[in-house]
């Protein structure tokens, strides 16, 4: 027979639900619903309030009429009598009953008659989750009027729970921030005119922009073989995988060689693909859930070189004609040595010009330069 949950079991269950909600905001309703069950409440919510503006919002809620969420955000949040005295809302403090607003006063307010009563809410317990200056976050649970009022014996459970809710909300915001950064990064990659891939340590693509997808579909030099990136030539493929491994281990902090350049021959007889391979920022691979790090691979089909390599970029950043020629080749996917050879200058001259390009554009690597170019040309087109 399954034994009934005790108070300690319920607290552990509630803590687990809070941390689950940190990764999936849809689960906050599960957390609040279980909290309402524990307290025999009709509804609950996570509230935010700004004492400087007097406005607040119901971030997440359960058991409450969704029509009143909009009304609270637009009107009643500024008229919540329980939030008149900001001095009462110290971090992690728990309030019950009429400690802040006597019952005789509450029932005469517009907030009660036009907001609480239509939702069958009356008795209240509230725990302060976060307090930073005028900004407040709290979890509020309401019972109906004909039920037992909250008392001091109801405080300890919520007091134990509030620190975990605070941490879960912090984690939730970090998750949202990482997802937003990831989406912005992926959007930027898709705007690039060069084929751009991010692969894991085994060469499995984690990210492909549309140019890379088209290039791989042609299976001319680079292709996917059983889900892994591969070069058409067996010898070149071994070299490619070695460089990917070096780049990904560099990301993980144990490698010594940060990728490099590789020429990949093509069965069609077209000009070879010049690959730029470099480590990917560890935070990005963490967002992509790759424990082994990642490698960024950039290339451009030289048979499809257009005239848009530098667009307005050179004028915007004051590049000289010589620097523009070098930048154009770098932006089109050439390595520094190949670009120097194609222009007819020495490697030392190319390095000197690249230093000037980096200084004028406030970038520090070829990958930085490519990202800046994509963003600049997108903005101006």
- What pTM value is reported for the model? 0.55
Q: Which helix (H) or strand (E) holds 187?
A: helix 155-191
**How far apart (Å, rounded) are the C-alpha atoms in residues 334 and 140?**
59
DSSP 8-state code for residue 4: P
- Whole-angstrom CA distances from 141 to 2, 74, 91, 155, 165 are 28, 21, 17, 12, 14
CATH match of 306-381 with 1.10.150.120: no
Give the distance from CA 226 to its chain's centroid.
30
192-304 and 306-381 have identical folds: no
- What are 264's strand-pairing partners? 273
pLDDT of residue 309: 42
User: 192-304: which CATH architecture?
Assistant: 2-Layer Sandwich (3.30)
Q: Where are the domains of the chain?
A: 7-178, 192-304, 306-381
42-51: buried (b, 16+ CB within 10 Å) or exposed (e) per residue? Answer: bbbbbbbbeb
What's the DSSP call for residue 270? Answer: P
The DSSP symbol for 167 reads: H
Measured at the CA of 266, the angle between CA 260 and CA 267, to 5 degrees, comes to 150
The whole-number pLDDT of residue 182 equals 67
Alpha-carbon span 300 to 88, nearest angstrom: 62
Helices (H), 2-96: 7-23, 28-39, 66-74
How much is the pLDDT for 252? 55
* pLDDT given at position 76: 94
Of 359, 276, 371, 297, the C-alpha closest to 323 is: 359
All residue ranges of the chain with pLDDT < 50 are 1-6, 285, 287, 290-291, 306-310, 378-381
Which residues have C-beta within 8 Å of that of residue 110, sequence separation ≥ 6?
Answer: 79
Check residue 26 and give its pLDDT: 86
In terms of CATH, what superfamily is 7-178?
GAF domain (3.30.450.40)
């Amino acid at each position: 027979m399954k034994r009934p949950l005790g108070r300690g079991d319920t607290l552990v269950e509630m803590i687990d639900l809070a941390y689950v909600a940190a990764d999936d905001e849809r689960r906050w309703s599960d957390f609040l619903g279980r909290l309402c069950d524990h307290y025999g409440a009709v509804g609950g919510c996570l509230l935010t309030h700004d004492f400087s503006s007097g406005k607040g919002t119901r971030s997440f809620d359960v058991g409450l009429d969704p029509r009143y969420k909009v009304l609270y955000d637009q009107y009643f949040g500024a008229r919540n009598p329980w939030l008149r005295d900001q001095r009462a809302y110290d971090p992690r403090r728990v309030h019950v009953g009429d400690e802040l607003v006597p019952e005789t006063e509450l029932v005469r307010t517009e907030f009660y008659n036009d907001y609480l009563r239509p939702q069958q809410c009356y008795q209240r317990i509230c725990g302060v989750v976060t307090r930073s200056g005028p900004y407040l976050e709290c979890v509020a649970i309401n019972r109906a009027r004909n039920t037992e009022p909250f008392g001091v014996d109801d405080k300890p459970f919520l007091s134990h729970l509030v620190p975990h809710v605070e941490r879960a909300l912090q984690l939730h915001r970090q998750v949202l921030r990482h997802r937003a950064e990831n989406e912005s990064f992926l959007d930027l990659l898709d705007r690039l005119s060069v084929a751009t891939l991010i692969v894991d340590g085994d060469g499995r693509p984690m990210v492909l922009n549309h140019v890379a997808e088209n290039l791989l579909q042609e299976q001319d030099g680079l292709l996917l073989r059983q889900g892994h990136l591969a070069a058409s030539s067996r010898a070149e493929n071994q070299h490619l995988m070695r460089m990917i491994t070096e780049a990904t281990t560099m990301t993980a902090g144990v490698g010594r060689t940060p990728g490099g350049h590789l020429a990949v021959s093509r069965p069609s007889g077209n000009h070879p693909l010049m690959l730029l391979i470099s480590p990917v920022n560890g935070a990005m691979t963490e967002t992509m859930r790759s424990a082994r790090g990642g490698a960024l691979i950039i290339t451009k089909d030289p048979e499809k070189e257009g005239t848009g390599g530098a667009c307005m970029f050179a004028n915007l950043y004051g590049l000289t004609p010589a620097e523009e020629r070098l930048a154009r080749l770098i932006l089109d996917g050439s390595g520094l040595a190949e670009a120097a050879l194609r222009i007819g200058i020495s490697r030392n001259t190319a390095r000197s010009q690249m230093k000037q390009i980096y200084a004028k554009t406030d970038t520090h690597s070829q990958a930085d330069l490519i990202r800046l170019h994509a963003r600049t040309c997108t903005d101006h087109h």
